[in-house]
Amino acid sequence: MQPTLYAHPFSSYCQKVLIALYENATPFTYRVIGPDDPEAVSEWAALWPLKRMPVLVDDGKSVLESTSIIEYLALHYPGENKLLPECPEAALEARMMDRVFDNYIMTPMQKIVLDHLRPESDRDSYGVRQAREMLSTAYDWLDKRLDGQEWATGAAFTLADCAAAPSLFYADWVHEIGATRLRLSAYRARLLARPSNYALGLGQPPLAIPASIGLLFAKPALSNPIPELASVTLPFSSWKAHQKSLLSSDGIIPPHPLTCFVGAEK
């Protein structure tokens, strides 16, 4: 038997696990949590009543939380790419950087997006300023730390890079990394160039995603300009076509404003 992943293709934490699966070409069954498969939604809710994504099921065992899932895969489905290094010191560093990207990039980025989606009267401008300050500080720290390093912990792509890819992909959109942080910008570009980042919707995914998955377009007021739209339901196929029309100068497709928090763990 192969493991089953309950996930949504637009959830950043689900993308983190998908990257790990794609890195080692690990066979798995993908149960997309959405209106096309209400049975998957019911199974997922029964497996984890808090309804957080992703959830991995393997041989009757449920594994929760993206970091734990990737460690489980490294233990039970090891591949050519050692996402959790065998050296204890290197493994410790990979775990540390994984937490940095989840806590100090992903979390403040989600704060900014979620606040934007609130009714204007309920927005938290102070909290958003704090989130932007945290992102700026984390960007500066990462830019220095990445000096001379190809990946988050050195020469090898690890668990930490699985976390970095979706977090930096989206964070740069809501709070730009900027032209002065050259090492961090180059690192983000390397992450997005890896084939495993099909998980972020770049290129052609290695497995089919139902075309009728619906998204809710919010009126964006974030850093990258996209047309002002009323709230409408947009199929995934239409969203992809819209994103391709907005290709930035570096060829990276900007994300849908909701992709960075749907089904977030936190």
Q: Using alpha carbons, list the distances in angstroms from residue 69 to 86, 131, 245.
A: 17, 27, 35
Question: What would the mean pLDDT of 168-180 be, rounded to a whole number?
Answer: 94
Q: Is the pLDDT of residue 234 over 80?
A: no
* Residue 105 sits in the same domain as residue 142: yes
Spatial distance between the Cα atoms of 25 and 19, rounded to a whole number of angstroms: 10
* Residue 69 sits in the same domain as residue 124: no
Spatial distance between the Cα atoms of 49 and 39, rounded to a whole number of angstroms: 15
Q: Give tens-digit pLDDT for 34-83.
A: 988 999 999 999 999 999 999 999 999 999 999 999 999 999 999 999 99
Largest distance between two CA atoms of the chain: 52
* Residue 21 sits in the same domain as residue 108: no
Q: Give tens-digit pLDDT for 71-122.
A: 999 999 999 999 999 999 999 999 999 999 999 999 999 999 899 888 999 9
Q: Give tens-digit pLDDT for 200-212.
A: 765 444 443 333 2
Domain extent, residue 36, equals: 4-76
In a domain, 39, yes or no: yes
Domain limit, last residue, from 76, 104, 126:
76
| CATH code for the domain of 113 | 1.20.1050.10
Q: In the structure, what pLDDT confidence band is assigned to residue 199 with cuts at 50, 70 and 90?
A: low
Q: How many domains does the chain divide into?
A: 2
Higher-pLDDT residue of 261 and 31 is 31
Domain limit, last residue, from 198, 217, 238:
198
| CATH code for the domain of 28 | 3.40.30.10
Alpha-carbon 152 to chain mean position: 16
Structure confidence at residue 72 (pLDDT): 98
| Least confidently predicted of 23-32, 60-69, 116-125, 245-254 | 245-254
* Residue 64 sits in the same domain as residue 156: no
Q: In the structure, what pLDDT confidence band is assigned to residue 218 with cuts at 50, 70 and 90?
A: very low
In a domain, 101, yes or no: yes
Short-list 98, 67, 80, 62, CA closest to 23 = 80
Contact 77, 71 (CB under 8 A): no
Higher-pLDDT residue of 214 and 134 is 134
Higher-pLDDT residue of 242 and 11 is 11
* Residue 48 sits in the same domain as residue 104: no
DSSP string over 36-72: T-HHHHHHHHHH-TT--S-EEEETTEEEESHHHHHHH
Structure confidence at residue 202 (pLDDT): 58
Mean pLDDT for all residues in the chain: 80
Q: Give tens-digit pLDDT for 136-165.
A: 999 999 999 999 999 999 999 999 999 999
Q: In the structure, what pLDDT confidence band is assigned to residue 219 with cuts at 50, 70 and 90?
A: very low
Structure confidence at residue 237 (pLDDT): 42
Structure confidence at residue 253 (pLDDT): 36
Structure confidence at residue 216 (pLDDT): 24
* Residue 39 sits in the same domain as residue 140: no
Q: Is the pLDDT of residue 9 over 70?
A: yes
